[in-house]
Structure formats: C-alpha cells, structure tokens
Amino acid sequence: MFLVAGQESYAQCAMCRGSVESSMGNGRNNVGIGLNTGIVYLFVMPYLIVAVIGYLWYRNSRKIRQEREFISARIKQAYPS
C-alpha cells in the first residue's frame, strides 16, 4: 500500500510540517503536540502488538506444559516402576 501511495505520503509530510511551523510561529503548540502524540502512538503500536502476541504464546505454552506434567504424573502413578 505504501509503495502505491508514496507520493501522497510525502505531500502530507510537507503539509504537516508547514502547518506545525506556522502554528509554532503564532505561539500555539497544540498542533505540534498533537502531531508528536500521534507519532508516538504509531511508533508504539507494533511493539505493543508483538508483546501481546508473545505473552499469549508464553501463557499457552506454559499451560500445555502443565497439562503434560499432570498427565505424566498420572501415568507414573498408575504404572509405578
């Protein structure tokens, strides 16, 4: 998608920069702060998604391991050596 819309994204960056520069020149920080907050959200989201998937994978593997240990203990109890 980014390869197709590459020109538009560059144009938007120039427009955002111009908007922030003009608002900073007028003494207003709202546009710059909002833009920086949006950038932080975009930056953090992929890491947050990977962390959630990793946690769910860890929790699932731990649960499966506990089930295997329980079954192994039951088998050893049923068939003592």
The rounded distance, in Å, linking the Cα atoms of 66 and 60 is: 10
**pLDDT value of residue 38:** 83
* Contact (Cβ atoms closer than 8 angstroms) between residue 23 and residue 30: yes
Q: Where are the domains of the chain?
A: 6-78
The mean of the pLDDT values for the chain is 81
The rounded distance, in Å, linking the Cα atoms of 33 and 20 is: 9
pLDDT at 52 over 90: yes
**pLDDT value of residue 19:** 73
